[in-house]
Amino acid sequence: MKSFNEKKGHSMTPKYKPNMKRIEREKRTFLKEFSSKYGYNGKIDQIREKEYPQLNTCVYLDHTGSTVFAKSTVKNFMEDLMNNLYGNPHSNSPSSQASSMRIAGVRKRVLKFFGTNEKDYSIIFTQNATASAKLVGEMFPWTKRSCYKYLRESHNSINGLRRFPEQIDADFQSVSEDEVNSMIKNRNFFENYDKYDEKKEEEKVTYNLFAYPAQCNFSGMKFPLNWSQKLRELNTETSKTLVLLDAAAYVPTSKLSLANKDASPDFVILSFYKIFGFPTGLGALIVKNELAPILKKGYFGGGTLRTIIHNVPWQTFSNDMVVRYEDGTVNFQNIIALDHALDSMEKLFKDYKYISNHVQCLITFLSRSMRSLRHWNGEPVISVNSDRDFSDNKQQGGVFSFNTTRSDGEEIGYLEVERLASLNNIHIRSGGLCNPGSISRWNDIDVEDAIQHFVHGKVCGDEHDIFNGKKYGAVRLSIGAMTTIEDVLIWLDFFRKYYVEKKPKAKKFLM
């Protein structure tokens, strides 16, 4: 491995030079423990050199933000476009039919990727996971008796769904993991309130919605996939709960199977760039076909209709759920690119279990190393935003979220850590990460705090990482399929140099 400062094209401040002797020594120690699961049977360095040249000049630890695309994906995609003509699929020309055939093939392939098929599920292509969540809100059969519950540790894409019940004066509630388990155990997850005329509603089914992330994007904590089945078992003839699973942060490094339809969520949302790095601007809503009769169609665009009259409110929609909800022309070229991304993943990594094992080794080692850091006086350098076992990939994903303190207990803002890392070409992420529930949980910010701080100038994405003594986010390191132990060790070397105090600070005396 080349010296970090010697890599071609690398620009770095002269203050930091990795201790390569220490890094090589720590790598040998790591391999003694993890060599059986790390690095795809010794192929990781070859994979990195051949397929990920964009990583040669940096350390990239923001794979939950977006992972990195393989060179072969864009190369094969480019060759495909240069040798074939793909037209708008809403036509019958040869180029349009070529697009339609490829899109149909990719739909089947993606469903197979998740262990299911076109009989049980449909895949509706969207712009991203957020657009998929919004589409669920638009199609869901809300009534005033509906209730929407969502896990506290949800991304804003899930929080935003509360706007739909809010607009019709229906109920919504943010719930903790313990509250979910308690309500399931006591069989009282949803209560349909008596403030509406029950005689008019008693013959109708009330549909409620529960949404949660399979893996929290802020902390990397994983949540039970069997909640879908447990909630389904609570359904009655007049009250049914549908489950939306936000899989965006989960599926890049963990296998999600929808093979058992009865035990699987009703809706799954995701973004493909988080799995493959490319294409961007392409997500999906995977939805159970059995729900088609109850889902609603609001706005409509080109390609969704069977017939329409232009000047009166009369139109009928396609019977095909995919056609009905994909308004306008889908991003057909990016869907073709997705085909090549799947090819690259299968060729490079073979099976998801190898990716999961690789990531688990690295996040276990990273978390253990970071937790062990102590200042000169024995005080811990960091606090960790997770209560999971990092060595168990069923409990914790490849994310390490933390905050930093000095030896005297003073908090160090997450923006400082990110900026110093950026100056040294180490790519991480910091902030609230669009997850207000996690910010509240890990930084002890209640409703009154948040409102009062907003009144006094605190807004999302500003420069105030610590406001009125409260932290509003964290530093997040996230591991991907192509992360190496060198990436982790260089980060650790950098962090020790700048944030672990080896001796007391010299006191300043006033003259």
Whole-angstrom Cα distance, residue 388 to residue 392? 8
Backbone angles phi, psi at 94, to 5 degrees: -55, -40
Helical residues (DSSP H) of 116-196, grouped into ranges: 129-139, 156-159, 163-167, 177-185
Do residues 322 and 124 lie in contact, with contact meaning Cβ atoms separated by under 8 Å? Answer: yes
Q: Where are any strands of DSSP class E within 15-146?
A: 59-60, 121-126
Whole-angstrom Cα distance, residue 150 to residue 213? 9
Task: Tell me whether residue 434 is one of the annotated catalytic residues.
Answer: yes
Residue with the two structure tokens 């790519």: 427
Whole-angstrom Cα distance, residue 283 to residue 269? 8
Quick one: DSSP state of residue 161?
A: G
CA atoms lying within 13 Å on the CB side of residue 216: 32
Do residues 428 and 61 lie in contact, with contact meaning Cβ atoms separated by under 8 Å? Answer: yes
- Other beta carbons within 10 angstroms of residue 8's beta carbon come to 7
Retrieve residue 170's tokens: 């229906």
Residue with the two structure tokens 């712009």: 127
Retrieve residue 131's tokens: 């657009």
Retrieve residue 25's tokens: 């020594």
- Please pick, among 58, 147, 361, 434, the residue that the annotation labels catalytic: 434
- Other beta carbons within 10 angstroms of residue 291's beta carbon come to 17
Residues with Cβ within 8 Å of residue 120, at least 6 apart in sequence: 258, 261, 288, 289
Catalytic residue ranges:
434
